[in-house]
Structure 1
Amino acid sequence: MRSVKEISDLTGISVRTLHYYDEIGLLKPTEKSGAGYRLYDDKALETLQQILFFREFDIPLKEIKAVMDNPVLKRNQILQMQRNMLIAKKERMERLISSIDDILKGENKMDFAVFSKTEMEEMFQTMFEHMPANMRNLAVKEFGSIEEWKKHYMEALSSEEMQKGYAKVVEWYGGKENFLSAANNPVSKEVAESYNKRVEVVLQKLSAKKECDTASFEVKEVVGEYGFVMKQLSQIKSEKGLMLAQAQYYRNEKIKPIIDEKYGEGASEFFVKAIEAFYENK
């Protein structure tokens, strides 16, 4: 067992901060001595390390607590999440350094391309092969032929706007290779249907919490489960970007009435607030 002073000396975290973490329930001491002093074991020290990883990204303490307390997320899942966040941060830093090097060399070309022509062709082929037959036939009818459809797809995907959009999606997957692997190896129809049923159950649970504060544990627990299911379905490294995009989907004026009709008046706005409260840095 280590005293709060020893933990402070070991980690560089002030005694006052450790006391505050105890007060808000983020890091409770393992036990207290007969004299009432806080004592911490190795497991508590590991928990503190996980908290400090999240703080490295300026994530609010209440959101860290929601993640740490979420029974859906196990120890290794939290560590993997933090590892992916650190890798993404490292890759962003490397891209920035590379851009600065290019500018110093006078080679700043502002190239927004994410995928090569070959990669885009493979993406089209995978989409074509896995698309339901009725949708595929409608697309072919609209464009006149598969070749014209492919040409349109390639031109649209090659645009700067689309490449920028895909750059964000690639980041969710933890890199282009991971994205292409998921895109070229989609889950089966049966698996997708199974996940969609799980999503429906989660949304029903979330809609039942409409009268609760979005900052409450019971709401965050359901949102955490929602994010976990979406992460598994989409085969992404971190679901934060996807979930925030999903919140924007619920905010869409054409979608709101559909969601409200299915899950009850005000459900769409509640879903937005609940997801943003869980994932957005404030």
Structure 2
Amino acid sequence: MQMRVKEVADLVGISVRTLHHYDEIGLLTPEETTEAGYRIYSPDNLEMLQQILSFKELGFPLKKISEIINDPSFDRQEALLLHKNMLLERRRRLDGIIATIDRTIQHSKGEIEMTDKEKFAGFDFGSNPYEQEARERWGDAAVDQSNEKIGKMPKSGQAALSEGMNEIYRKLAHLRGTSPQSEEAQAAIKEWYDFLNQIGNYSLEAFKGLGQMYVDDERFTKNIDQFGEGLAQFMCDAMIVFAESDKK
């Protein structure tokens, strides 16, 4: 199905001016431009636009994105998988930092004891294997700019994200002794699904796969279970039930 520039802009949530700019710099050239000057976009154009926006979300500059996607060796599927892994790794680290901050708050209130080492748990950003792969594929400058963008996230946005995430984790931790199929558990896991789709784009299959990762990857398990032992497994089970029930 072919679409005009205004239709693409409305679909994606970006401005017509942005699409015009992408065309002007050769980043995304429409399939066709009519004699009247209308830009017509094809399904292939939309796939490329998704890829461009994925790189942009990671902080890559437009010039570097153009170099990457126009390289003859560029593999779109490989790039998408690497994007996903980089974002999951960042989220894992943020989960760890958020959990540490929560424990520090408890410590400051005298509710728990923390060692000096525990106070800095989750703050090690030096060993992201996916980031290293990205550096090898796309260069240091692109990845450095991506990290800089993440670092500039407003504190108010980080705080809102943190509190929303923690509230759902706490709710699920309170329910982890119940059946993952219960109405309460499914209502809470739907909140988690909706929350994730506010900051990303998760299909039911992806949501189900993410839940499995919570128990398959001990790093996820450790971070999540800080809210309550067995929470990762409970969330995994509830996410499977939610994804499979919602398909029917």
TM-score by length of 1: 0.43
Structure showing greater relative contact order (alpha-carbon pairs closer than 8 Å, 6 or more residues apart): 1
Q: Which has the larger radius of gyration?
A: 1
